[in-house]
Structure 1
């Protein structure tokens, strides 16, 4: 399983772990050396002193006291018999702790009796404990120092990585003239990572630019045939010999041509990534466009047996770009028509926007975010749509500074709300 801890934290952990190992080994080495000295060197010294005491005992035939801290006991003489607490010790060097008292004991047996040399070690034990306390304090300080130094170095190591991440996330990196990232970094791992980002971002910019140019070219070239269709429809509608059925078909063609013209304008604006159009865009009020859409969609709702109501709850007088607003509203009405089998659809206008309410089957909670993605259709999808209508609505709203959201449940249907920015 991959480690999901932040890289900075892993660097600090590695620093502290390395210090724990090195400092712990060093501290244990000091303790081992102290014990080695205590067991071997002190043992040799006590052995020499015991030999001296034995020789003196043989000469004087009585117990010998080496110094104030060292005493000699022997079972050979009754005057300095071996104390019971020292009598059961093994041959050679031993360390005896009796409460707060500490003794070094060296025992040797010869000629049928035992000779024991006892040296009080209160001061040595105190110094030994002080030494161990110093070693422990040094160990803890080294661990805390490693943690602090690890944090400092990790921040310095991660600083160029964070800087690179911020540069990559910046929205200007997708612009065609965005500067390369690699020249700002040395030729190391971060520099090679920046070069890889440059290559990937370059390919992404190329793909976006190619898509933008394609959309722009197609939208531009479609203007001429759409103008021809619209002009031809106007001429046909002025002809006196058309029957009522033929006139209705020409009106339908003209309306479809106008819708396609709005879509072309919308796609062209999206392809220009928010740049101002060179021409003068048509402006409409929300109420005016809603009335137009009501007249256009009412026959289709009526043919399906659905009630369609336009409710004005105080629409403002601000004016908006007709093509973009018409694209958003018509796509939401088309979506309501497709997914509502009975009941009613309402187009409700407000001071800050509008909403489209339907009595359809609703949208599950886990799909309410995904339906605004391209090529995503609901589980109860109908018709031959590709799942691009709501995606187009989302993109137009983002480009215009509007917001769109959905509230839906199987019991009450769906409500798509569009909040419009300040118009002109």
Structure 2
């Protein structure tokens, strides 16, 4: 697992355990080496002193046989003792101390030369080795116990250290974006966590103020625009009711009425975007995506001039969504308008699936750089195509972000494909 994705609590525990293991392991190793050196030093001095005593005690007395001493120690004196009776491991012994292994046991050997004679004091090292193994086991067990204790202690310490962080995260999570945060930093100590809590409280307050101002502005502007839009729509309806209206004038009034309806739909969209998504969805019944698609396609075909691209609708499923009709209508309308604008003389194919709408055009398509910027504000996909302010796809993106939908653009076999997914998972586009 990558370190950056490992929980902070786990990282603290691992770091604490590794540090304890390293320190205790080094301490145990240093202790074992020191004990080994001290014991061997004392043992060698003891053997050397014992050999010196025997040399003085024996004097010039000949020793034709090995002399058995206490603790399985043996003294060999040459040339009194024939060379054939000397152990093989003494053959290369130099004056001084050496530890030798004869194939089955380990021995400590001290050699001294005096008055033409060689004295070998040989003592088994099994007792010393048992003590060394005992010390090694004790130190290893102590290291293991220290690491185990460090693990449990680290869990307690990590919980204590992270408790303020988790408490702050819970407060931030419970904070209502529609209300200014109150006492978010209350109860925290005057330390780094407290400073972080105060910064969160300050920034969330600023964010709330920004959201409140944006919602107020959107609401005020939308409500103020409702009246002139309703007046224009009413006037257009009144003019259309006259039977004496000339055909050219009737066509112009019908365009005015359609534009007024589009304005009212946009006003409804901006009001919905300024409110919480859950509140918006809860207040509206389910709307049929099939009906919206048919209505928008019919409107476009009715208003389209001669030679405009044909729109083909393929309904492979029936789909209904709990959302304001204006949100879905404006999203579909902008995708269709965009496809018609960039596919002159071609065909636009709309496919409704179980959870998405596919809008395919037969235009020239876009390169990868243009696709990445397709949903930016005021981003026109082709400068040579007249009309548009580069806001249509940006509005679709905002509607999707608000409603929990997804919209993506990609090259198609004969042009571009825009996919409107009614969910958070855009896989298998």
TM-score by length of 1: 0.79
Instruction: Decide whether the 8 Å contact of 1:314 with 1:351 is kept in 2.
Output: yes
Per mean C-alpha deviation after superposition, the further-off stretch among 238-247 and 69-78 is: 238-247
* 1:282/1:257 CA distance change after superposition, 3 Å: farther
Instruction: Decide whether the 8 Å contact of 2:358 with 2:420 is kept in 1.
Output: yes
C-alpha displacement of 1:105 = 1.7
* 1:47/1:406 CA distance change after superposition, 3 Å: closer
**Whole-Å separation in 2 of the counterparts to 1:375 and 1:406:** 18
- Unpaired stretches in structure 2, ≥5 consecutive residues: 424-429
**Whole-Å separation in 2 of the counterparts to 1:106 and 1:318:** 97
- Could you give the per-residue CA deviations for residues 32-66 of structure 1, whole angstroms, max 9, x where no partner exists? 22232233211221122112211221175447543
Identify the match of residue 362 of structure 2 among 339, 359, 363. 359
* 1:379/1:23 CA distance change after superposition, 3 Å: farther
In the other structure, the counterpart of 2:225 is: 222
Identify the match of residue 113 of structure 2 among 89, 109, 112. 109
Instruction: Decide whether the 8 Å contact of 1:361 with 1:410 is kept in 2.
Output: no
Instruction: Decide whether the 8 Å contact of 2:181 with 2:205 is kept in 1.
Output: no
Per mean C-alpha deviation after superposition, the further-off stretch among 30-39 and 387-396 is: 387-396
* 1:130/1:387 CA distance change after superposition, 3 Å: farther
Aligned length: 415
Instruction: Decide whether the 8 Å contact of 2:101 with 2:107 is kept in 1.
Output: yes
In the other structure, the counterpart of 1:126 is: 130
C-alpha displacement of 1:300 = 5.1
* 1:332/1:240 CA distance change after superposition, 3 Å: same
C-alpha displacement of 1:96 = 1.8
User: What does residue range 91-170 of structure 1 map to in structure 2 within 5 Å?
Assistant: 91-147=95-151, 149-151=153-155, 153-165=157-169, 167-168=171-172, 170=173
In the other structure, the counterpart of 1:411 is: 413
C-alpha displacement of 1:398 = 5.9
C-alpha displacement of 1:364 = 6.8
- Could you give the per-residue CA deviations for residues 313-343 of structure 1, whole angstroms, max 9, x where no partner exists? 7868999744334322321221211222332
* 1:73/1:381 CA distance change after superposition, 3 Å: farther
**Whole-Å separation in 1 of the counterparts to 2:189 and 2:157:** 18
C-alpha displacement of 1:377 = 6.0
- Could you give the per-residue CA deviations for residues 193-234 of structure 1, whole angstroms, max 9, x where no partner exists? 222222222222222222111111111111222233333434
Counterpart of 2:70 in 1: which secondary structure?
coil
**Whole-Å separation in 2 of the counterparts to 1:9 and 1:286:** 48
* 1:91/1:304 CA distance change after superposition, 3 Å: farther
**Whole-Å separation in 2 of the counterparts to 1:318 and 1:33:** 78
In the other structure, the counterpart of 1:344 is: 347
**Whole-Å separation in 2 of the counterparts to 1:340 and 1:161:** 55
In the other structure, the counterpart of 2:45 is: 44
- Unpaired stretches in structure 1, ≥5 consecutive residues: none
Instruction: Decide whether the 8 Å contact of 2:316 with 2:353 is kept in 1.
Output: yes
CA RMSD of aligned residues (A): 4.1
In the other structure, the counterpart of 2:426 is: none
In the other structure, the counterpart of 1:296 is: 299
In the other structure, the counterpart of 2:57 is: 56
Identify the match of residue 88 of structure 1 among 79, 82, 92. 92
Instruction: Decide whether the 8 Å contact of 1:301 with 1:308 is kept in 2.
Output: no
Instruction: Decide whether the 8 Å contact of 2:110 with 2:122 is kept in 1.
Output: yes
In the other structure, the counterpart of 2:247 is: 244
C-alpha displacement of 1:139 = 3.0
In the other structure, the counterpart of 1:389 is: 392
Counterpart of 1:210 in 2: which secondary structure?
helix
Instruction: Decide whether the 8 Å contact of 1:289 with 1:326 is kept in 2.
Output: yes
In the other structure, the counterpart of 1:69 is: 72
C-alpha displacement of 1:180 = 4.3
In the other structure, the counterpart of 2:29 is: 28
C-alpha displacement of 1:74 = 1.9
Instruction: Decide whether the 8 Å contact of 1:216 with 1:272 is kept in 2.
Output: no
C-alpha displacement of 1:299 = 4.7
**Whole-Å separation in 1 of the counterparts to 2:76 and 2:242:** 141
**Whole-Å separation in 2 of the counterparts to 1:86 and 1:285:** 103
Instruction: Decide whether the 8 Å contact of 1:355 with 1:417 is kept in 2.
Output: yes
Instruction: Decide whether the 8 Å contact of 1:364 with 1:408 is kept in 2.
Output: no
**Whole-Å separation in 2 of the counterparts to 1:367 and 1:142:** 61
Counterpart of 2:231 in 1: which secondary structure?
helix
- Could you give the per-residue CA deviations for residues 270-304 of structure 1, whole angstroms, max 9, x where no partner exists? 21224868xx9999866665554344311554445
Counterpart of 2:39 in 1: which secondary structure?
helix
